[in-house]
Amino acid sequence: MRRNAIIILMCVELMLNAVNLLLVAFSTMYNDSSAQLFVFFIMVVAAAEVSVGLAIIVLMYRKVQSIDINILNRLKN
């Protein structure tokens, strides 16, 4: 099975957005705005995670000319 690093990064972002949607929905349902502030911090962390993840993917592509995660085992040496 071929695992692409960009697809894995997109899946993590999708999970974070699902949590954000859930927090906003419960915040609206219970009339509590503290969860919406927490959503803002999750979005900031997600943006930082994307920038670091993309930098790692670019460096990996420069090194091995592929973004396949299975090739990372070769970089141990």
Alpha helices of 1-77 — where are they, by DSSP H? 5-29, 34-64
Residue 17 belongs to some domain of the structure: yes
User: Is the residue at 35 inside a domain?
Assistant: yes
Whether residue 77 is contained in a domain is answered as no
Residue 50 has pLDDT above 80, yes or no: yes
Structure tokens at 45: 């962390």
Residue 64 lies in a domain: yes
- Closest of 51, 70, 65, 67 to residue 13, by C-alpha: 51
Q: What is the pLDDT of residues 9-39, one digit of tens each?
A: 888 899 999 999 999 999 989 988 888 888 8
54 inside domain:
yes
Query: Could you give the number of structural domains in the chain?
Result: 1
Domain that holds residue 41: 5-72
- 57 within some domain: yes
| The pLDDT value given to residue 36 | 84
- Among left, alpha and beta (phi > 0; psi -120 to 50; other), residue 65 is left
Task: Using pLDDT thresholds of 50, 70 and 90, give the confidence band for residue 51.
Answer: very high
Tokens of 11: 């899946």
φ, ψ for residue 12, nearest 5 deg: -65, -40
